[in-house]
Amino acid sequence: MTLGVAVIGAGMAGRAHAAAYRVAPTLYASTLPPLRYVSVGDLDPGMGALAARRFGYERSDTDWRAIAEDPSVDVVSVVVANALHREMVEGLVAAGKHVLCEKPLSDSLEDARAMADLARAAGSVARVGFTFRRAPGVAMLRRLVTDGTIGDVLHVDVRYYCDYAADPRGPISWRFKGAPGTGALADLGSHAAYLAEFVAGDIAEVSGGRFTTAITERPVPLGVVQRGADVAVSDEREAVENDDYASFSVRLASGVGVVEVSRVAAGHPNGLVVEVYGDRGAATWELERPGELSLVLNDDPPAIRGFRRVVLGPDAPYVRGGLAMDAQGVGLGQNQGFEYQARAFLEEVAGIDEAASLPRCASFDEGVHNLEVLASVADSAARGGAGVAVPAQRTS
């Protein structure tokens, strides 16, 4: 069996998927079937061709349907604007493709629910990419909670500060269009809410929802906008429709917490921070120092009790036998999250037993739950911060 791979979207995250499929077979033992790198799709022919050449894919396509219709393609990542996810996923699943869709599952709860209904009935694998669960430090925080090291969770704090929209001269793009909650909350809060639950348990209620739009209009670009890339802009301006900043409180099965996200936080290119406090200690991790975490245990001798720096090594999740150099202190990074994710997805598609695989990627039902949390935040914000119950995760 050879698996044909394609990626739709050659933007910032699309390139990470395209690269990750190249690396995935080199992680751990050689249990994956051979891969054939078929196509990188992008509406912009130049961007698609550039990425296909760079990452060694046979061709690029400007219409995603060419990928859906190609019988040599088995596995497709959907890595485009959130509002485009549903149409592409539906077309790909109908064509029998295995689909890895980027987060958030969609730009609307209604579309996400329809996608999850489809996925449950599909004969192919449909998964959603919450990459940060693959960061060894994040997976360690979860382990320190589940194995009782830091005790019962008292509170969790997830902050995701980015500066990609901090400059008012930056162009308008799909990220700035849509209802309140489709801005920073969907882009960064989807990760943050997922991580709060991944580390500390399910969110039962949100409250204190708050959105602000700090920069209310932006210049219209003169070329293709991709996150992280420069583009010339015109004198024309368009309104920013959604949130630059969002915050909310959560009530968990055990404990409470706060989530705060911003795309206008100057000086924080990628400032994701996860902190979890238990009744036996606490642990924190930040993306700007992803190869380490901080840990304090209440039972430490009082004279030296305090946060200690733990440099992650082979005994952290994902590291041993995965990285080519799997020693302590080699340094870890966000791109590796996409690589582990691609590996996990391909293992499932190839039918490799779950026990012999990396943890499976999140299901579309989990993607729906994530959007239910975000919709509850929007509801809370619209009602002056009122408490809003979050539906329990679907288990079947």
Ligand X SMILES: NC(=O)c1ccc[n+]([C@@H]2O[C@H](COP(=O)([O-])OP(=O)(O)OC[C@H]3O[C@@H](n4cnc5c(N)ncnc54)[C@H](O)[C@@H]3O)[C@@H](O)[C@H]2O)c1
Footprint on this chain of ligand X (rule: CB under 6 A): 8-14, 41-44, 47, 64, 79-82, 84, 102-103, 129, 131, 187, 224-227
C-beta of 307: minimal distance to ligand X in Å?
27
C-beta of 76: minimal distance to ligand X in Å?
11
Strands, DSSP E only, in the chain?
Answer: 3-8, 35-41, 59-61, 75-78, 98-102, 126-129, 153-161, 203-212, 217-221, 233-239, 245-252, 256-262, 271-278, 281-286, 292-297, 308-311, 362-363, 388-389
C-beta of 107: minimal distance to ligand X in Å?
9
Burial class (CB in 10 A: 0-12, 13-18, 19+), 312: buried
Which lies closer to ligand X via its Cβ, residue 145 or residue 172?
Answer: 172
Which lies closer to ligand X via its Cβ, residue 54 or residue 227?
Answer: 227
C-beta of 252: minimal distance to ligand X in Å?
23
DSSP H helices, 147-282, are 184, 190-200
- Supply the DSSP string of 101-153, one letter for each residue: EESSS-SSHHHHHHHHHHHHH-SS-EEEE-GGGGSHHHHHHHHHHHTSTT-SE
Which lies closer to ligand X via its Cβ, residue 14 or residue 219?
Answer: 14
Helix (H, G, I), strand (E, B) or coil at 266: coil
d(CA 315, CA 188): 29
C-beta of 312: minimal distance to ligand X in Å?
19
Which lies closer to ligand X via its Cβ, residue 172 or residue 312?
Answer: 172
C-beta of 337: minimal distance to ligand X in Å?
7
- In this chain, which residue has its C-beta nearest to ligand X? 11
Which lies closer to ligand X via its Cβ, residue 226 or residue 380?
Answer: 226
Structure tokens at 43: 């509406």
Which lies closer to ligand X via its Cβ, residue 43 or residue 297?
Answer: 43
DSSP H/E element including 375: helix 364-382
